[in-house]
Amino acid sequence: MAKKRIELMVCAGTGCVAGGAFPIMDELKKELKTRGLKDEVSVVTTGCNGFCGQGPLMVVLPDNIFYGWLTLKDVPHLVEEHFLKGRPVQKLMFTPPEEKTPIPLLSDIPFFKKQMLIVLRNKGIIDPEKIRDYLARDGYVALEKVLFSMKPGEVVEEIVKSGLRGRGGAGFPTGRKWELTLRQERTPKYMIANCDEGDPGAYMDRSVLESDPHSVIEGMIIAAYAVGSSQGFIYVRTEYPLAIERMKIAISQAGEYGLLGKDILRSGFDFDIEIREGSGAFVCGEESSLIHSIEGSIPEPRQRPPFPAVSGLWDSPTLINNVETLANVPVILTKGADWYSSIGTETSKGTKIFSLVGKINNTGLIEVPMGITLREVIYEIGGGIPDGKKFKAAQTGGPSGGCIPAEMLDSPIDYESLTKAGSMMGSGGMIVMDEDTCVVDVAKFFIQFTNDESCGKCVSCREGSEALLEVVTRIADGEGKEGDIAFLTELSETIKDASLCGLGKTLPNPVLSTLRYFKEEYEAHIKEKRCPALVCKGLTRYYIDPDKCVGCLLCRKTCPVGAVLGESKYVHIIEQDKCTKCGQCIEVCPPKVTAVKKVTGNDMEELEQLTETVLCAERRKR
Amino acid sequence: MPRLTVDEIKKMREESKKEISLREGNFRGKVIVHLGTCGIAAGAREVMDALFDELERRDITDIMFTSSGCAGLCSKEPMITVEVGASPPVKYGKLTAEKAIKILDEHIIGNHVVEEFAIGMGSERIG
């Protein structure tokens, strides 16, 4: 047989590659050859599948069987059982936690069922390093339509009609930005794709570049045609080597096929793309800083107006769009603005990719229609919270966003609803928190990040974030005082008002949002010296319950600083001034015993007294 | 590589679509060849190769071609199951390469069950 009867679509996004996807692919090829199957079964490299928590993974086509948590050792058995003898291997399939029956088909797995793929339409089906695969999926059909049967103004009109909004974070109407740029008469004009995705935990743009780089190229060419640009740049952060490599290959292949460069498709339209790499500055995700970075100046934002559309790169009219926004463009042109605007809500059209991470069973990247509720995302797609813990809040928008608490689980996810709730869409990070997450700790984490990444130009952002961090840290360490909450609120509002760019303007959001919904948790830290989630080290102690301890010596042997006193069959005691709160003792205490626990607040005083008594008085024998 | 025209790109696109047709999932029917150790011993792989080659030769890309383990009725192997459209699946047994190709013509393409090779229609109950 010349054609293959089975295709193994192996995920080779950065996550799975880090997990060992390439050695697994080599092993598969080797084993298939040994078994005489190499002409019947092909091994295909694909981009990110999305179900990252299950990686390394692959999908067997045409059956659509999903295999996850693959290791090298699994390969020989898998090849023999499934590909030679036709018997799919159950133990490699996805089984929901707490359940026994695996779900063989990808289309039946809840994580995938409610997703709607527009941007990620080609994921798992194409090899991102083969332009022919992209062509087969109607790639560059939109470009042909645009170049030969549409005027630039008509293209802009279609994007305006579609209701597409910027997917980088601010949600500005894309069509309006294109219109503004088209209207400029000065030349040359530039087109920039922003892939400086900096939010911690967000990797949607990386996934688009690694899985379907041509979708971005096609989007860029169409955008350039619409506004009248002939030179484009893709600004990618250096921390994305695989994305950069795949984009380089795609650009080179597109050039070879006459789809990029001079006289594209012999239409007379010229457009070329250069890659520029970032250098580790979060602020470069902000458009004016990004432009300065390309120019070779210090990446600091500047006053707007003038907006980049009027005066941007080298003072020329510049259109700058996010990667995910651009990947939507070819589909809008082929399927039509009416179709696109029929998806989503009144003000937020289309779909959005979210990176669903944190305290959630099904971790990974999901693409869902705007307007889906948080409850559907967390429980139906995400599979709920692990270990039966209670949902506390979902943090959206990364360091610029805020928390959506449990009472708002039924709110729709769209730009306006999230902003009204005190958060924002942002680039699509969605960090799920449960009862064991401390909101003060979360706020501290994000302020630490933005304080570190502040470019330093504005006093309000530079000094303001420093002051915010100092106060939040004090509260987390148990040294909060009366007046701190009022100070945090006032300072936050001031930073928002006085800062020049999005980084400064939104950095107080995690503080404001957590104060809005979880004020009692801040108050517990300040007034009661208590961390309800038992996270903040300054406010928690580790304590061995003398009624439960069986004197097995396990924690004493594990403790890295020798803080556990005890002998075999004698109740163990933790010396608080030596304890570093590493948590090892809780991990090793046998499940049937569970004598070690964390305490906070009033309980800490009681246990200090108890420890004194026990230490000084008789040692109890078990 | 010389700069391509729109028509050349179109042609390349059509060819590439055929190459990845297995991945697209636009199937109107399904053929399952039952393998397993017993099936293979009885000659199922020859049936499978012949059937697959014939599907390829005739450029049929809307039938999903797959394999499974033993169907249970080992004495009737080599066996295949054919499912077209919404009709219940039909199990065929004691096949050879020629019989399989006759089934391809009459059932898969012509939509008539080949009764002389058929064992049964429908599936077992589960649970």
Among A443, A446, A367, A433, smallest CA distance to A404 is for: A433
pLDDT of residue B125: 77
Residue A618 confidence class, pLDDT cut points 50, 70, 90: very low
Look at residue A616 and tell me whether its pLDDT is greater than 70.
Answer: no
Name the DSSP class of A105: B
What does the block give as tokens for A262? 């001079």
pLDDT of residue A621: 54
pLDDT of residue A610: 67
ipTM of the complex: 0.92
Angstrom distance (rounded) from CA A203 to CA A357: 11
Q: Could you tell me if B23 lies within 8 Å of chain A, comparing CB atoms?
A: yes
pLDDT of residue A184: 97
Q: Could you tell me if B27 lies within 8 Å of chain A, comparing CB atoms?
A: yes
pLDDT per residue as tens digits for the range A327-380: 999 999 999 999 999 999 999 999 999 999 999 999 999 999 999 999 999 999
From B13, B67, B68, residue closest to A136, measured CB to CB = B13
Look at residue B1 and tell me whether its pLDDT is greater than 70.
Answer: no
Quick check: A238 and A279 in contact, CB under 8 A?
yes
Look at residue A603 and tell me whether its pLDDT is greater than 80.
Answer: no
Percent of chain A predicted with pLDDT > 70: 97
Mean of all residue pLDDT scores within chain A: 94
A446-467: b (≥16 Cβ within 10 Å) or e: bbbbbbebbbebbebbbebbee
Contacting residues for A16 by C-beta, under 8 A, at least 6 apart: A10, A48, A49, A52, A55, A56, A57
pLDDT of residue B13: 96
For residue B38, the distance in angstroms to the closest alpha carbon of chain A comes to 9
Mean pLDDT of A393-397: 95
Q: Could you tell me if A225 lies within 8 Å of chain B, comparing CB atoms?
A: no
Angstrom distance (rounded) from CA A191 to CA A293: 15
pLDDT of residue A311: 96
Q: What is the DSSP string of B3-52?
A: PPPHHHHHHHHHHHHHHTHHHH---SEEEEEE-HHHHHHHTHHHHHHHHH
Question: Other CB atoms closer than 10 Å to residue A519's CB: what's the count?
Answer: 12
Look at residue A463 and tell me whether its pLDDT is greater than 90.
Answer: yes
pLDDT per residue as tens digits for the range A296-320: 999 999 998 999 999 999 999 999 9
Distances (CA, A) of A144 to A264, B7, B11: 9, 10, 14
From B1, B22, B48, residue closest to A257, measured CB to CB = B1
Look at residue B123 and tell me whether its pLDDT is greater than 90.
Answer: no
Q: What is the DSSP string of A543-597?
A: EE-TTT-----HHHHH-TT--EE--TTB--EE-TTT-----HHHHHS-TTT--EE
Residue B3 confidence class, pLDDT cut points 50, 70, 90: confident
pLDDT per residue as tens digits for the range A402-430: 999 999 999 999 999 999 999 999 999 99
Mean pLDDT of A164-181: 96
Among A437, A438, A604, smallest CA distance to A528 is for: A604
Residue A567 confidence class, pLDDT cut points 50, 70, 90: confident
Strands A272-277 and A231-236 come out as parallel
Q: Which chain A residue is nearest to residue B6, measuring alpha carbons?
A: A265
Q: Which of residues 46-85 of B touch A (CB under 8 A)?
A: 48-49, 52-53, 56, 64-69
pLDDT per residue as tens digits for the range A537-563: 999 999 888 888 888 899 999 999 999
pLDDT per residue as tens digits for the range A431-456: 999 999 999 999 999 999 999 999 99
Q: SS3 for A197-246, per residue?
A: CCCCCCCHHHHHHHHCHHHHHHHHHHHHHHHCCCEEEEEECCCCHHHHHH
Q: Which chain B residue is nearest to residue A258, measuring alpha carbons?
A: B3
For residue B20, the distance in angstroms to the closest alpha carbon of chain A comes to 7
pLDDT of residue B97: 94
Look at residue A619 and tell me whether its pLDDT is greater than 70.
Answer: no
Look at residue A8 and tell me whether its pLDDT is greater than 50.
Answer: yes
Residue A617 confidence class, pLDDT cut points 50, 70, 90: very low
pLDDT of residue A452: 95
Burial of A211 (0-12, 13-18, 19+ CB in 10 A): buried
Q: Could you tell me if B4 lies within 8 Å of chain A, comparing CB atoms?
A: yes
